[in-house]
Structure formats: C-alpha cells, structure tokens
Structure 1
Amino acid sequence: MSANHATNGTVKLSEEEIALYDRQIRLWGLEAQTNMRSAKVLLINLGSIGTEITKNIVLSGIGHLNILDNHIVTEEDLGCQFLLGKEDVGKNRLDATKTRIQEFNPRVNLSFDKANIEDMDASYFKKFDLVIGTELNTREAITLNTMTRQLNIPLYLAGSNGLFAYIFVDLIQFDAEDEKLRSIKATEPGKISQNREIISIDERISEDDDKIVYERIKTRNLYKPFQNMLDDATLNGKLTHRQLKRVSNALPLTLASFLSSFDDSSKETFETQTRNMCLKLGLPIETISTQYTEQFIRQRNVEFAPVAAVIGGALAQDVINILGKKQSPLNNFIIFDGITLEMRIFEL
C-alpha cells in the first residue's frame, strides 16, 4: 500500500454528508473530504494525545478509525484525559471511552482492539491506510516503523514529556500539490531542501483576469525511518550558526531520551547523552540549560492536556492535508517547546 493509497476516493459522499461537512469542504475541498471518508486509520493508545487526535479526525469525518489500546485507567489519567471520569478508574480505556467517542460523530465507523501492540503482526497492520502511534517506547516505535515500511503504509508517531512534545512523520514518499500566485520570478523545479524537491510546475490563468497567473507546484517529499533519523540526525549545513544557537533545548533532550531508559540510567548518564546529541546535531553544548534538563527529566513521559491539544491538533490537520494532497506535509520531526510556546519543524 503506497503513501498515497489513502487518497483513492472510492467512497462517495452523500448529500447529507456534504451538508454536514460543508464548512471543512470549503476549507480543504470535496476531494479531501471524500478521501477522508474512504480512509482506514489505526490509532495506537488512547492517552491524552491519542484522545485529541481521535476527537479531531472523528469530527473531520474519517471513514473508519480503529483504536488499539490495552491500558487500564489510572487516577493519573484523569488530569489529562477529558473523556474519563473518576468512575472509570480501573476500567480498560476503550471500555470507558468508546461510547463517548462514537458520540463525536455517529457516521464514523469505529472499532476497538483491547490488545498489546507487540502481539500484532503484519496481517493486522496491512488493513490500514495510515497508522498513528502514541505513548510508544523507542523499541516499539522502531518495530512499528519497520512494519509500516515493509507494508508501505504512512506512519505518524507522537509523544510528550510534560511541557515538551514531538511528532515524527514517515510517509515514505509523498507527492503534494500547492497552488500559489506566480510572482515576478517564476518558481523553478529543483531541490528545496534535503528531503523535498519541486518536480513539476503547471500554470493556470485566472478566469476573471488573464493577467493573473497561478502556479500549481508538485513537491516530492522523501522520508527517513525512525531508526535512521536517530542514527543520522544532524543540523549541520541546514541552519546558520545563529539559527543553531536558537534551537530549543527540547530537540536534543527529546532525541537523547529515545536512546536512554531512566530505569537503568542516571541523570549524569542522560546529561552525557544529551551533550553527545548536541555534538551530533551541530548544536553548541553551552546552550543546554540545566533548568530545561531537570524539568525534562521530572516530566519524562508525562502528558499535559494543553500540550496534547496542540500536538493532537497539528497531527490531525496534517493527516487531513495528506489525504487531500493539497499542501506539503510535515517533514519529518516536529518539536513543541511549552516554555517558549514554539513549535518547529526539523528535517533530520
């Protein structure tokens, strides 16, 4: 299944659905909405970020959403999960939330699997057009990405460490189309960055004024697997010295966290790994703040509702974008810094 397979548009929207989704059809077009209606998406784990993603794509009119989660609701979940109440503590997450999720949009086909991701093989994943993984450790993320690559299925990963969060995107190869007003200097084909290239440009003359010309630009996006990103991550040659100095501490801290487990490594070990990651990325080591590091360690794997809302909204919007192929998608690693409220895209 290709990264573009989800946009097959084989399901037609009814007049009722066109009326229901009228506002978003005006925003991203009938084709994108039809493709949403055709798509089969797998979401892994219904934590705070997973809930936000679910809400957004269900309200948007996804055709089929399958949620895989075997977690039991704890009291800690109540502070970051708006679908849960005190009466749900001790229940399986899916049992506690499935009715409320269906109420978001009864037209969406929902299915639920109370199972462990590690028990699922290729026959399970190949049913889906797109996979979204949340709350995964590094080993699970790499294993999942290896599977989605073998099956040629687009993958998003998302997670948070308190005020800091990330999105990883692997669409393998994805061609997107954008349209813009032609400027004095016409756009030319060629490399935009390491992972993106303009492969064709078509012009369209405005029906209202033949002096107004639009460019339809097709951009090819290439992606790295999660493992390769960790192995090869660098910003050398991609940012100026001044830009490197302004990169959030959340980037090296997050990447270093993928390479360590706080169960078997000390604070000193993690700080060493963070410094090594800075060297690898090409970032000045002296810019790493002790305050950032200590806060990151304290909040490791903690989910905050406001941060989850930002990450869940951004990820869900990108899913909508790729289904419509109207805008270039995220490529390939996004960091949210809740201290500065910055969210930046890095091509690693």
Structure 2
Amino acid sequence: MSSNKRTRSDSHVHNDDNTNASTKKLRTDLNASPAISNDVQHVELSQDDVALYDRQIRLWGMEAQQRMRNSKILIGGLTGITTEVCKNLVLAGIGTLTVVDASPVRIQDLQTEFFVTESDIGKNKAQAAIEKIRMLNPRVKVDAISKDVATMPESFFDGFDFVVLSGVDLSTMVRMDEICRKRGIKFYGAIGAGFQGLFFTDLIHHKFVLEAKTHPSAPKHRKAETNEFHYVSIENALTKTWGPIKGSARRNQAIPLYIAFLIVLTYQRQCGRYPTKTQDSEALSLYKASFLQSQSLQPNFIPDDQLWTISSMMGAELPGVAPVIGGVLSQDVIKTLAGKDEPVYNVFVHDGLRSIGTVLESIPRIESKSHGACRALVEEVMIGDD
C-alpha cells in the first residue's frame, strides 16, 4: 500500500435514548473493576476513572478513554513545547508517561517549563520535573530517565505507542523517526525558535472517523466517514519540491516560513552547527541559493533576515508560543488515540508573530503522482486574534 494514500468510506451512527442507558450500565459494571495498576499490559477503567474523566468521555467515548488509559508515551527532551504536552496528556488520563532528558535545568528554562523552579537550576531536568508531573494525575504512571534520548538503544523504544521528541537537531530527529517507524511507533518531532516553531508528524498508518450531521431536522442522526492516512517518514518529507508555487498557495505565508526552517535545519545537518552572521554569512547565502534552486523557487523567495532570525533563536522558546505548539501537538496525540477527527498531516507550522498555525502536507510529488493526490497545501487554524 502507498505511503501517503488516503481512503474514505461511509457508515452511519445513530444516537438515541439507548446511549444513556448503555452508559449507566457500563458505570454499574465498572463497580467491580480491579484496582488500578500500571504494571499490567491492559488496565480496565474503574468506576473512579469514569467519574474523573466523565466530561471527556462524553466528548470522545468510553472506548477512546480506555485506549488512552493503556497508552504508553515517551517524551524525549523536556522543553517548553513538551512541558505543555506532558501536562495535557497526563490530565487526559494516559497510562504511562516516560520523560527522558540528560540536560540540567537552566535559568532560561523557567519561562516556559513550569514543572521546574529556580531552586532546580543545575539539577537534572527530568528528575526535577517528575514529582510535579505526577501531582497532576496520580492515576498516571510517570517515570524519569536522566539520559540523552539519542543515546538510548533501539530496543529501549519497544512498547511505547508514541514518541514525542523536542530539543534535538534534525539528524537526531530523522534517526529517531526511523527507529520508531521500524517498530510501528507513532512519532512527533517538535522544534521551537522564538516566535515561531513547527512539528513533524509520522503516524505511519492511521484510521479515524469524522462525524457530520446529515439532516438539520434530525440532529441525532449523524453520518460517519471512515478515513485512512498513510504518512511518509520525516526523511522522505524533507525531499518534497515546493516550487513553482502557483495560485492560492502564493498567499500562504506558512510555506516560506517552513522552507526557511528547512534551510536552517539542513544547513546545520550538513555543517554541524547553526549558521551565524559572523562565521557563515557568505556560506549561508550560497546554500540558500542552491536550496531554492533545487526547490524551483526564486532566489528572493526567502529573505536572509528570516534565516538569521530563525537560526539565532533556534532552541529558544517564548511563553506565548511554546504552549500553543505543545497544545496543538498534545491535542493531536489525543485525537489519534481516540481515532476521531483528522490529525495533522504531516507538518504543523506556527507563526507567533501573526498568531496563525498552519498544517502543510510535505509529501514528495513523485509519491503523490504514483499513489494518490494530496490535498491542497493549506489548512489554516487561527490561534487567538490576528
């Protein structure tokens, strides 16, 4: 089957008075549920779980909450983005969260990483944050490992359902994605750079349901569409040719921002460091010209100032930006676990200066021509006010 093919089929969902009765019966049946234990492979929801997660169960259903309760998620690198991810996933009621980070807490971390305080400066970041993460939801098993996720053996990742990576370079992200792909693990890779940032999504193969009302006069009758997305690896996503850009795509400001990120990230991948004005001014100009030519884009498509801004802010996170990216990412994990609503396919780009987040399909055109067309480039999500 193709790596990026989408398929869709229709089914029907009927909501009637039996729903409440079924819910009540399930609540009664859960009275005899065993005590919660994260040491077993499958954990049933207890009556207390149902009471605690009642509102979100009404939103995405008991089956989705059960999948969430048994999910195992790895956070590689605690940053402002993944701090928000940890908070949202633990509160949502996942089963196990493992935080892997070898770095010490720095003073600049305090503005976006709210699980650490000034008294934690110099301590290992994962160990410093773990108790506060646990306090959010005692039902979730939370572990901390004081190691660099990039040094962990491949077998370490066995058993996880999701890996969320942040605070690493592109080479590490690509390698971690390949490891996860081989093991059928869904992968997110996030990057923050000041007012801007993005994350890559590789869910490998994902089915989900979209529900829509079919008759205004019959609000309880909904039509459910079953969808299927096939993702490409991050390495493959990087090979997409974006130009020449035509039509409405010219107005999509997320495309130049994404390509600017790619220039900086791939420059670092080749040269071993992010470019600086003092050392790399001429080299970056030549690299940019070559990169844009390979993309069938004009030499002035990306201004040099935009590259310097991204490069100088790479890894630096701001309180009004990192939580937005982390919030979208964590919501995407929840949607994927629930199997409802469309996940990010396959890059989310956030521009904090314009308060706009955009989903881009970074799929090579040779894949699209061979295995089914991608949707148009842009799906915009307004974050706050313009």
Bin the TM-score by the shorter chain.
0.7 to 0.9
- 1:178 paired with 2:210, answer yes
Displacement after TM superposition at 1:212 (Å): 7.9
Query: RMSD in angstroms over aligned alpha carbons?
Result: 2.4
Displacement after TM superposition at 1:260 (Å): 1.5
Q: Which amino acid aligns with 2:134?
A: Q
- 1:244 paired with 2:254, answer no
Partner SS state of residue 305, structure 1: coil
Match of 2:325 in 1: 311
- 1:222 paired with 2:236, answer no
- The alpha-carbon distance between structure 1 residues 34 and 277, as it changes in their structure 2 partners (threshold 3 A), is farther
Match of 2:165 in 1: 133
Question: Is 117-126 or 261-270 further displaced after alignment?
Answer: 261-270
- The alpha-carbon distance between structure 1 residues 313 and 270, as it changes in their structure 2 partners (threshold 3 A), is same
- 1:80 paired with 2:112, answer yes
Q: State which structure, 1 or 2, has the greater radius of gyration over its C-alpha atoms.
A: 2
Match of 1:328 in 2: 342
- The alpha-carbon distance between structure 1 residues 251 and 268, as it changes in their structure 2 partners (threshold 3 A), is farther
Q: Which amino acid aligns with 2:273?
A: D
Q: Which amino acid aligns with 1:119?
A: T
Displacement after TM superposition at 1:275 (Å): 4.3
Following the alignment from structure 1 to structure 2, what is the Cα–Cα distance between the partners of residues 257 and 290?
11
Identity of aligned residues (%): 29
Displacement after TM superposition at 1:86 (Å): 1.6
Number of aligned pairs?
Answer: 314
Match of 2:273 in 1: 263
Partner SS state of residue 63, structure 2: helix
> Deviation string for 1:220-272 (max 9, x for gaps)?
11111111111x223358x6434234333321111112211273741333344
Partner SS state of residue 301, structure 1: coil
Q: Report if aligned partners of 2:81, 2:190 keep a CA contact under 8 Å in 1.
A: yes
Displacement after TM superposition at 1:277 (Å): 4.1
Q: 2:144 aligns with which of 112, 131, 147?
A: 112
Q: Which amino acid aligns with 1:247?
A: Q
Q: Report if aligned partners of 1:244, 1:284 keep a CA contact under 8 Å in 2.
A: no
Following the alignment from structure 1 to structure 2, what is the Cα–Cα distance between the partners of residues 58 and 277?
41
Match of 1:339 in 2: 353
Following the alignment from structure 1 to structure 2, what is the Cα–Cα distance between the partners of residues 283 and 213?
48
Displacement after TM superposition at 1:283 (Å): 4.7
Following the alignment from structure 1 to structure 2, what is the Cα–Cα distance between the partners of residues 213 and 285?
53
Match of 1:233 in 2: 240
Question: Is 312-321 or 285-294 further displaced after alignment?
Answer: 285-294
- The alpha-carbon distance between structure 1 residues 216 and 280, as it changes in their structure 2 partners (threshold 3 A), is farther
For residues 160-175 of structure 1, what are the structure 2 equivalents within 5 Å?
160-175=192-207
> Deviation string for 1:273-324 (max 9, x for gaps)?
4444444455554342444333223212211122110011001001010111
Q: Report if aligned partners of 2:285, 2:304 keep a CA contact under 8 Å in 1.
A: no
Match of 1:95 in 2: 127
Following the alignment from structure 2 to structure 1, what is the Cα–Cα distance between the partners of residues 145 and 42?
26
Following the alignment from structure 1 to structure 2, what is the Cα–Cα distance between the partners of residues 255 and 130?
24
- The alpha-carbon distance between structure 1 residues 270 and 28, as it changes in their structure 2 partners (threshold 3 A), is farther
Match of 1:55 in 2: 87
Q: Which amino acid aligns with 2:168?
A: L
- 1:24 paired with 2:56, answer yes
Structure 2 spans left out of the alignment, 5+ residues: 1-40, 363-386
Question: Is 241-250 or 47-56 further displaced after alignment?
Answer: 241-250
Question: Is 283-292 or 134-143 further displaced after alignment?
Answer: 283-292
Following the alignment from structure 2 to structure 1, what is the Cα–Cα distance between the partners of residues 220 and 162?
38
Following the alignment from structure 1 to structure 2, what is the Cα–Cα distance between the partners of residues 346 and 109?
34
- 1:68 paired with 2:100, answer yes
> Deviation string for 1:163-210 (max 9, x for gaps)?
110110001111111111348xxxxxxxxxxxxxxxxxxxxxx9x94x
Partner SS state of residue 314, structure 1: helix
Partner SS state of residue 263, structure 2: helix
Q: Report if aligned partners of 1:70, 1:115 keep a CA contact under 8 Å in 2.
A: yes
Match of 2:22 in 1: none
Following the alignment from structure 2 to structure 1, what is the Cα–Cα distance between the partners of residues 285 and 352?
20
> Deviation string for 1:2-34 (max 9, x for gaps)?
xxxxxxx94321111111111211222222111
Q: Report if aligned partners of 1:233, 1:280 keep a CA contact under 8 Å in 2.
A: no
- The alpha-carbon distance between structure 1 residues 212 and 276, as it changes in their structure 2 partners (threshold 3 A), is farther
Following the alignment from structure 2 to structure 1, what is the Cα–Cα distance between the partners of residues 264 and 166?
15
Question: Is 149-158 or 211-220 further displaced after alignment?
Answer: 211-220
Q: Report if aligned partners of 1:165, 1:311 keep a CA contact under 8 Å in 2.
A: yes
> Deviation string for 1:21-53 (max 9, x for gaps)?
112112222221111101011110111111111
Match of 1:201 in 2: none
Question: Is 320-329 or 77-86 further displaced after alignment?
Answer: 77-86
Q: Report if aligned partners of 2:196, 2:352 keep a CA contact under 8 Å in 1.
A: yes
Q: Report if aligned partners of 2:274, 2:311 keep a CA contact under 8 Å in 1.
A: no
